[in-house]
A and B are shown apart, each in its own frame.
Chain A
Amino acid sequence: MTPSSRTSPLSRLAQPLPDLLAFAALAALVVWGVLAGARNLGYHWQWYAVPATLLTWGADGPAAGPLLQGLLLTLALAGTALPLTFCLGLAACLAALSDSFAARAVSRLYLEAVRNTPLLIQIFLLWFVAAPLLGMGRFTAGVLALALFEGAYAAEILRGAVLSLPRGQWEAAHALGLSRAQTYARVVLPQALRRALPPLTGQAVSLVKDSALLSAISLFELTLRAQALVSDTFLTFEIWFTTAGLYLAVNLALSAAARTLERRVRLRG
């Protein structure tokens, strides 16, 4: 047995050790900080009251508690707004890149107006001004406000992705006699969407979080439910932490789904 064959498995095991120690130390520091902070707060923690805000057991089986009801509405709002966001973003992106001056002007106006004003005011505008005119319900107005807002960002992400493709792709398609629409559909967008997927995922996560602002027009989604619970029960920290945990869970699931999609459409080679 040579010395090297005796020591090498051990040293291989020991190799990530400093890294793991550093991680453990950091984690311990954070946990200690949180615990110390909680102690100093002199707060009376009542975590036992939290499960009832999610699920209640009535006479006829389990029923969704207020937080879970809020989560369901948040999911419905975000789930409806997300495909709409994508369509709006794509339309605005294509308009911004079109040859038509009118299309470019409308697209630019939309992008600048939406991206440079607060979402809260856009929500108010849609609910108090546009909704009565168009006969929209609260839910529709909320979804529309969200989709219009996030769609502007999605448009710029998509535009960047389209412009990042080499010019040769357009030239090859045109030289083969493909029309502009065919080039977009079969050559440019399939490549641009792949490139845009990571930043679009970020935008989808933002959408879920921004849906909290719809509480301002009395849509009883997760954040408004939490607010109501806090003022009823005074379980301030327990409720808000639980709420944050629910947003976290939704967005982690969303990101994981996006990563799976990314892997599946990745180009070979």
Chain B
Amino acid sequence: MAFQADRCDPARAEAKVLGGVIVEARGLRKTFAGGIEALRGVSLAVRQGEVVVVVGPSGSGKSTLLRCLCGLETPDAGEVVTDGARLPGSRRDRDRIRTETGMVFQHFNLFPHLTALANVTLAPRLARGLPADRAEAEARALLGRVGLKDKTGAYPAELSGGQQQRVAIARALAMRPKVMLFDEATSALDPEMIGEVLEVMRGLAAEGMTMVVVTHEMGFAREAGDRVLFMDQGRIEEEAGAAEFFLSPRGERARRFLSRML
């Protein structure tokens, strides 16, 4: 199997040590007004330090799954349990899920009236109650980490798409989330800017951040993903280790999807 050996990343030769389950979804269902069934019974468990990549055709429910995991949508049936907080549940639980889950959106959704630094410090100050000077020090460190040390005073409109998305990642990290969700974080970017964002995401994965990543970047999925979920029509159709999924998808739909994507 020379072919397979080739594709194995030497850095991942020794198996990653994963912690206990930190995010769990059980039997999630969600139907939107107009009768569109976005989720039709989705269950998944994410262990601490794991990078789960969710792939699938558009409209398969990937985004809705992430939006349930981060507490933006409440599932019609089933539940999400993140570090003991339940959804649907009390308002406190919902707020805990929202603060402990970092979300990165396709369209960045930075606050345009705030500088990059203020975008990052806002939530720690308001939701974590951090004093301004400490929030600022943390924010500067985070912006440095995503390679934007010299852009702290820039407004979103003065930044490129890739830079905006990196600010958005720093903003989510500032809440010290237990898990980071990426909802097609590179889909709205010009091709030459995708690399810089994926680089930051790879770095996070390497540092052991727990991540659930919805993406069309199959290269990233194969290299950085521990596990791949293939979703179609509101269900998880296939679930496998990243290397295994890309080498030999089991189902017909996954095979067709991959042949289109690769």
Which A residues fall within an 8 A CB radius of B? 166, 168-169, 171-179, 182, 186-187, 190-191, 194, 267-269
> Which residues of chain A are near B156, meaning CB under 8 Å?
269
Binds A, one of B32-40, B106-114, B208-216: B106-114
A67: shortest Cβ distance to chain B, in Å? Answer: 43
Q: Mark each residue of chain B from 53 to 87: 1 if its CB lies under 8 Å from any CB of chain A, else 0.
A: 00000000000000000111000000000000000
> Which residues of chain B are near A190, meaning CB under 8 Å?
113
Q: Assess the A269–B157 pair: CB atoms within 8 A.
A: yes
> Which residues of chain A are near B126, meaning CB under 8 Å?
178-179, 182, 186
Taking A177-B99, A178-B127, A269-B158 as known contacts, 9 extra A-B pairs with beta carbons closer than 8 A to each other, sorted by chain A number, are A166-B109, A171-B109, A172-B168, A174-B72, A175-B70, A176-B99, A267-B113, A269-B155, A269-B156
Out of B98, B107, B113, B157, name the residue touching A168 (CB < 8 Å).
B107
Interface flag for B171 (CB, 8 Å): yes
Query: Could you list some 23 contacts between A and B, CB below 8 A?
Result: A169-B111, A171-B72, A172-B103, A172-B168, A174-B71, A174-B72, A174-B98, A175-B70, A175-B71, A175-B103, A176-B172, A176-B175, A177-B128, A178-B122, A178-B126, A179-B127, A187-B122, A191-B111, A191-B113, A267-B113, A268-B157, A269-B155, A269-B157
A78 to B68: give the CA distance in the assembly, Å.
50
Residue of A nearest to B118 (CB): A186
Most buried by B among A169, A175, A177, A187: A175
A172 to B111: give the CA distance in the assembly, Å.
8
Interface flag for B105 (CB, 8 Å): yes
Residue of B nearest to A190 (CB): B113
B5: shortest Cβ distance to chain A, in Å? Answer: 41
A267 to B154: give the CA distance in the assembly, Å.
11
B183: shortest Cβ distance to chain A, in Å? Answer: 10
Residue of A nearest to B99 (CB): A177
Q: Assess the A267–B72 pair: CB atoms within 8 A.
A: no
> Which residues of chain B are near A186, meaning CB under 8 Å?
122, 126
Out of A177, A267, A268, A269, name the residue touching B123 (CB < 8 Å).
A177
> Which residues of chain A are near B122, meaning CB under 8 Å?
176, 178, 186-187
A267 to B109: give the CA distance in the assembly, Å.
16
A176: shortest Cβ distance to chain B, in Å? Answer: 4
Interface residues of B in 115-129 (CB under 8 A from A): 122-123, 126-128
Out of B99, B105, B113, B158, name the residue touching A172 (CB < 8 Å).
B105
A174 to B156: give the CA distance in the assembly, Å.
19
Interface flag for B238 (CB, 8 Å): no
Q: Assess the B112–A191 pair: CB atoms within 8 A.
A: yes
> Which residues of chain B are near A166, meaning CB under 8 Å?
109
Interface flag for B95 (CB, 8 Å): yes
B189: shortest Cβ distance to chain A, in Å? Answer: 16
Q: Assess the A175–B157 pair: CB atoms within 8 A.
A: no
A187 to B72: give the CA distance in the assembly, Å.
17
> Which residues of chain B are near A168, meaning CB under 8 Å?
105, 107, 109
Q: Mark each residue of chain B from 85 to 104: 1 if its CB lies under 8 Å from any CB of chain A, else 0.
A: 00000000001001101110
A194 to B122: give the CA distance in the assembly, Å.
19
Residue of B nearest to A167 (CB): B109
A98: shortest Cβ distance to chain B, in Å? Answer: 16
Most buried by B among A172, A176, A177, A269: A176
B100: shortest Cβ distance to chain A, in Å? Answer: 8
> Which residues of chain A are near B98, meaning CB under 8 Å?
174-177
Q: Assess the B105–A176 pair: CB atoms within 8 A.
A: no
> Which residues of chain A are near B111, meaning CB under 8 Å?
169, 172-173, 187, 191
A268 to B114: give the CA distance in the assembly, Å.
10
A166 to B113: give the CA distance in the assembly, Å.
13
B103: shortest Cβ distance to chain A, in Å? Answer: 4
A92 to B156: give the CA distance in the assembly, Å.
31
Known: A182-B126, A267-B157, A269-B155. A175 touches B72 (CB 8 A): yes
Out of B107, B157, B171, name the residue touching A176 (CB < 8 Å).
B171
A182 to B105: give the CA distance in the assembly, Å.
20
A53 to B154: give the CA distance in the assembly, Å.
55
B118: shortest Cβ distance to chain A, in Å? Answer: 9
A186 to B111: give the CA distance in the assembly, Å.
9
A191 to B111: give the CA distance in the assembly, Å.
9
A91 to B249: give the CA distance in the assembly, Å.
57
A166 to B110: give the CA distance in the assembly, Å.
11
A167: shortest Cβ distance to chain B, in Å? Answer: 9
Interface residues of B in 121-175 (CB under 8 A from A): 122-123, 126-128, 154-158, 168, 171-172, 175
> Which residues of chain A are near B168, meaning CB under 8 Å?
172
A250: shortest Cβ distance to chain B, in Å? Answer: 31
Q: Assess the A169–B109 pair: CB atoms within 8 A.
A: yes
A267 to B99: give the CA distance in the assembly, Å.
28
